Amino acid sequence: MADVVIQATNLSKELTSSLLRRKVRILSGLNLKVVQGETFGLIGPNGAGKTTSIKLMLGLMRPSEGTAEILGMPAGDKRALAQLGYLPENPYFYSHLTGAEFLDFAGQLFGIEKKERSERARELTELVGLAEAADTQMRKYSKGMLQRLGIAQSLINRPQLIFWDEPMSGLDPIGRKDVRRILFHLKENGTTIFFNSHLLPDVNEVCDRVGVMNKGQLIVQEEVKNISQGGSYKDLEDFFLEVIAGQGAR
């Protein structure tokens, strides 16, 4: 059995809603294990709790109950953070920097030596199709170019585990294909991948396993091959819609 690299146990989050003046539960009892080398896709309607789950697993948010362990360490442990890559849902960029400067900055945060940083920045801008724009200021980047740069920065430290929150968001069909190619390349190298996406054909193509989240609960986990080859569902979208319909209208 491969090593468990992500483990959430009864992970839950409550927030106080100023509008409703009461506590609202945005994540309820998430139990999940992802093993080394696995590609796991978390899907679910808007507001289901996908981003919240990632933030709790990374230690960017504190759980109200439960625990998360990443690479055998508690969520937020610096030793674990040093070995993972994160693409946030809404990355913040320093717009006056060029793409290459931003990657250099990201590399400095991981304590990477200057020579390796510049080699890595060159490799990564190439990988994400930004080589020609590497010396352009980010304020001149389009949405999709920023997304590509976000993907590049998440790989600067050669992570063994990545958390990507909607990596295909804002990308054109060529960009989506590029992301799938990068994902396959990472998979081949044994990287463990956890990502959220609404693009079900892409999830279907690259993931080993999917989880469906709705209203703060992980309601199903299933191997993709069982969905596509099981005969009960036309495709992942069909499976997703059936599962959500079974939960009642939102």
Ligand X SMILES: Nc1ncnc2c1ncn2[C@@H]1O[C@H](COP(=O)(O)OP(=O)(O)OP(=O)(O)O)[C@@H](O)[C@H]1O
Residues engaged in binding Mg ion (CB under 5 A): 50-51, 89
Per CB under 6 A, 44 contacts ligand X: yes
Given strand 65-70, what is the order of strands in its sheet? 22-35, 4-17, 65-70, 73-74
Residues 66-105 that bind ligand X (CB under 6 A): 89
Q: Among 155, 154, 151, 162, which Cα is nearest to 54's?
A: 162
Asked if 36 contacts 5 with a C-beta cutoff of 8 angstroms, the reply is yes
Phi, psi of 97 (to 5 degrees): -80, 155
34 binds, among Mg ion, ligand X, none (CB under 5 to 8 A by kind): none
Provide, rounded to whole angstroms, the least separation between the CB of residue 200 and ligand X. Answer: 13
Q: Residue 215: name its binding partner from ligand X, Mg ion, none (Cβ under 5 to 8 Å by kind).
A: none
Could you tell me how far CA 176 lies from the centroid of its own chain?
15
One residue of 7, 32, 50, 130 binding ligand X per CB under 6 A: 50
Reduce the DSSP state of residue 134 to 3 states and report it: coil
Is residue 47 involved in binding ligand X (CB under 6 A)?
yes
Report the nearest approach of ligand X to the CB of residue 122 (Å): 32
Span of 31-39, 40-48, 154-162, 184-192 interacting with ligand X by CB under 6 A: 40-48
Q: Judged by CB under 6 A, does residue 159 bind ligand X?
A: no
Q: In 59-138, which ranges are continuous DSSP H helix?
A: 78-81, 99-109, 114-127
Of 46 and 232, which has the nearer Cβ to ligand X? 46
The residue among 96 and 250 lying less far from ligand X, judged by its C-beta, is 250
**Residue 76 phi, psi (nearest 5):** 90, -10
Per CB under 6 A, does 15 bind ligand X?
yes
- For 225, residues 6+ apart whose C-beta sits below 8 A from its C-beta are none
How many Cα atoms sit within 13 Å of 208 on the Cβ side?
16
Question: What does 47 bind: ligand X, Mg ion, none (CB cut-off 5 to 8 Å by kind)?
Answer: ligand X
Q: Interface with ligand X by CB under 6 A: which residues?
A: 15, 26, 44, 46-52, 89
